[in-house]
């Protein structure tokens, strides 16, 4: 396989231990070229450690991997990678355009391209009118926007974003999703490290859910979310009704809510008719896949807050991409 | 490396470090120049002869140089200690080190930029003080450029130690260690002198060897030598080895091998700093 054909990221059995603490425990995953890959996990799951290993900021205890065809830690390959750290801080005494120029120089970009890079990157993240202001006067959200702009200079082939919306308001978050799509449209892969499930759900092509340093699930969003289901709020449930519904698939009851999973969405009208025929009174019907949140909690074997809420999440449809 | 050095100089200017140092130098020079001029005038009023006055001024100049040496040491420690640690603690280093630069570029660039700042500060403040004292009192030390070079060297040694510690320790710990090391090295020089007076060979050996371990005090003696008039050296000859116990007296310049070792020491410490950051996970 040549360098250009290699995936954006490929790691096998990557492990990292810090004096007895296991941060990563045999991480194996592949991120294809040009895809937006969501790397999900709770706090302390090893997400940032994984990013640092990919960038060569830390060394793996064991395992191997490559980024853009080069082994982990290869310095020269960083020219083709953009990175927004989780802890984003830039020289507060420099102006925004000077910070971009500094990173152009560190990224070894030709000086003739700096002006365009400064204008493009600051324009893309909405800081064009603040280009001449010192970073020290920026809010946290603006500094994160600046960091995002820096991650995009030089048209990188892989953009690694570590919690890119942690300091942003809803408008900023929407902007970030739009920027991520722009980056993907340019052909770059995006490695999105996040614990914000809705963000990932809306923008990622594929995801991996990681916990305790291991991948618990990986694949296309639809694959990870599992089979479609229907959830109906019914009063007047009795054994005959549950038996009738059993003909459609596995049934779970939680109070007034009845969940049938899996269920072909085309059969929802039949389910409704069967409930009415059996004397049940229908108050609400939800059909679709499990939400990423419920899937996430199920994979991590953590009870969601409140059983009723869990039942609701179990059958709520996946949030549609805007 | 040059990028980081220029960035460091840029930072020193933007963060008003240079402006503060220039202002402090001017204040120090004006105050000490005024003091020296007043003392010379008083001595003349009391009938002191010109040689006595000149010896007095030379010793005041050495004390002023010690003040500058102390201020420079503190400046070197406070600039060097956060140079790497501060960037790592704040997160600035992570975004820079994710670029295709060597960690050595960061360490050596930081060192180069800060060395230029403290070197220029040593040269500027030292030569300005000598010029003002010369203008006000007529006393010109025998080798002012040698003195200033040793002063800058002493600061750069301390700066390099601060930078080395900064690759592993938090800023405040690195700075505190540097200040303590500076004080201990100075005291070791005094102990060596006192030990010689009393023939305490073990004390002398330990104290003198510490100069090789951390060469700031040995370089300070070079500053004193550059400012010490031959007349004082000649006159102190009658005190024999006892004169060496005085940290503000030097009858001879530091040996050439010591000066070379000091340069090697800086290179080794800088190399160690590069290795240390190279192995550190940020």
pLDDT digits (tens, 9 = 90+) for A133-177: 999 999 999 999 999 999 999 999 999 999 999 888 888 888 899
pLDDT of A4 reads 53
pLDDT at residue A295 is higher than 70: yes
- The two tokens of residue A239 are 């054994």
Q: Which of residues 79-98 of A touch B (CB under 8 A)?
A: 79, 81, 83, 85, 87-91, 93-94
Question: Measured between beta carbons, which residues in chain A are less than 8 angstroms from residue B102?
Answer: 75
Q: Supply A273's token pair.
A: 């008719």
**H or E stretch including A231?**
strand A229-235
Q: Which residues contact A223 (CB under 8 A, 6 or more apart)?
A: none
Yes or no: say if B259 and B225 are a contact pair by the CB < 8 Å rule: no
- Residue to mutate among B11, B17, B93, B100, with most A CBs inside 10 A, is B100
Q: Which of A123-132, A243-252, B256-265 has the lowest mean pLDDT?
A: A243-252
Written as tens digits, the pLDDT of chain B (282 aa) is: 899 999 999 999 999 999 999 999 999 999 998 988 888 888 888 888 888 888 888 888 999 999 999 999 999 999 999 999 999 999 999 999 999 999 999 999 999 999 999 999 999 999 999 999 999 888 889 999 999 999 999 999 999 999 999 999 999 999 999 999 999 998 888 888 788 778 788 877 877 788 888 999 999 999 999 998 887 777 776 666 666 677 787 878 899 999 999 999 999 999 999 999 999 988
For B38, other C-beta atoms within 10 Å of its C-beta total 11
Q: Which of A52, A91, A148 to mutate to test the interface with B (most CBs of B within 10 A)?
A: A91
Distance CA A194, CA A41 (A): 7
| CB nearest A78 (choices: B15, B98, B282) | B98
pLDDT band for position A21 (cuts 50, 70, 90): confident
Cβ distance of A106 and B90 shorter than 8 Å: no
**Are residues B267 and B108 in contact, defined by beta-carbon separation less than 8 angstroms?**
no
- The ipTM assigned to this model is 0.85
**Phi and psi of A101, rounded to 5°?**
-60, -40
B95 contact residues in A (CB cutoff 8 A): 83, 85, 88-90, 103, 147, 150
Nearest CA distance, B278 vs chain A (angstrom) = 10
Quote the pLDDT of residue A231: 85
Cα–Cα distance, B210 to A188 (Å, whole number): 57
Question: Of A55, A87, A106, which is closest to B91 when you measure between CB atoms?
Answer: A87
pLDDT tens-place string over residues A48-89: 999 999 999 999 999 999 999 999 989 999 999 999 999 899
């Amino acid at each position: 396989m040549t360098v250009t054909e290699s995936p954006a990221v490929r790691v096998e059995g990557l492990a990292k231990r810090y004096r007895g603490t296991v941060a990563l425990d045999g991480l194996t995953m592949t991120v294809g070229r040009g895809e937006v890959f969501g790397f999900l996990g709770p706090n302390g799951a090893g997400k940032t450690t994984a990013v640092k290993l990919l960038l060569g900021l830390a060394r793996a205890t064991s395992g191997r991997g490559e980024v853009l065809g080069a082994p982990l830690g290869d310095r020269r390959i960083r020219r083709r990678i953009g990175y927004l750290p989780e802890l984003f801080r830039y020289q507060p005494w420099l102006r925004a355009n000077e910070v971009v120029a500094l990173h152009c120089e560190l990224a070894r970009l030709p000086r003739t391209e700096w002006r365009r890079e400064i204008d493009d990157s600051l324009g893309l993240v909405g800081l064009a009118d603040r280009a001449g202001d010192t970073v020290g006067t920026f809010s946290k959200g603006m500094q994160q926007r600046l960091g995002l702009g820096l991650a995009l200079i030089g048209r990188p082939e892989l953009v690694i974003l570590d919690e890119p919306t942690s300091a942003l308001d809803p408008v900023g978050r929407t902007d970030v999703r739009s920027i991520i799509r722009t980056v993907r449209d340019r052909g770059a892969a995006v490695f999105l490290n996040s614990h914000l499930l809705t963000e990932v759900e809306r923008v990622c092509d594929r995801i991996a859910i990681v916990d305790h340093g291991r991948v618990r699930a990986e694949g296309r969003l639809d694959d990870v979310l599992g089979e479609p289901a229907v959830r109906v709020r019914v009063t007047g449930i009795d054994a005959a009704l549950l038996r009738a519904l059993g003909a459609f698939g596995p049934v779970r009851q939680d109070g007034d809510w009845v969940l049938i999973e899996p269920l072909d969405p085309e059969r929802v009208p039949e389910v409704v008719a069967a409930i009415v025929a059996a004397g049940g009174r229908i108050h609400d019907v939800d059909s679709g896949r499990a939400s990423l949140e419920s899937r996430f909690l199920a994979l991590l074997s953590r009870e969601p807050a409140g059983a009723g809420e869990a039942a609701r999440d179990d059958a709520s449809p996946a949030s549609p991409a805007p | 490396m040059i990028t980081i050095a220029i960035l460091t100089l840029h930072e020193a200017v933007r963060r008003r470090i240079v402006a503060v140092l220039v202002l402090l130098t001017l204040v120090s020079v004006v105050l000490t120049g005024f003091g020296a001029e007043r003392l010379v005038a008083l001595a003349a009023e009391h009938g002191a002869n010109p040689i006595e006055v000149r010896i007095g001024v030379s010793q005041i100049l050495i004390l002023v140089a010690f003040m500058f040496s102390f201020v420079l040491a503190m400046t070197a420690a406070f600039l060097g200690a956060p140079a790497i640690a501060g960037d790592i603690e704040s997160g600035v280093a992570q975004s820079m080190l994710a670029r295709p630069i060597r960690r050595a570029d960061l360490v050596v660039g930081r060192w180069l930029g800060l060395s230029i700042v403290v070197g220029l500060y040593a040269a500027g403040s030292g030569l300005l003080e000598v010029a003002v004292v010369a203008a006000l009192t007529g006393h010109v030390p025998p080798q002012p450029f040698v003195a200033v070079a040793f002063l800058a060297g002493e600061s750069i040694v301390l700066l390099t130690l601060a930078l080395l510690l900064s690759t592993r320790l938090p800023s405040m710990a690195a700075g505190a260690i540097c200040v303590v090391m500076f004080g201990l090295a100075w005291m070791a020089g005094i102990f060596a002198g006192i030990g010689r007076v009393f023939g305490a060979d073990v004390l002398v050996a330990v104290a003198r060897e510490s100069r090789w371990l951390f060469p700031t005090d040995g370089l300070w003696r070079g500053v004193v030598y550059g400012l010490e008039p031959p007349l004082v050296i000649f006159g102190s000859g009658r005190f024999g080895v006892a004169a060496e116990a005085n940290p503000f007296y030097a009858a001879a310049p530091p040996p050439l091998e010591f000066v070379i070792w000091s340069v090697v020491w800086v290179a080794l410490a800088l190399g160690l700093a590069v290795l240390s950051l190279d192995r550190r996970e940020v």
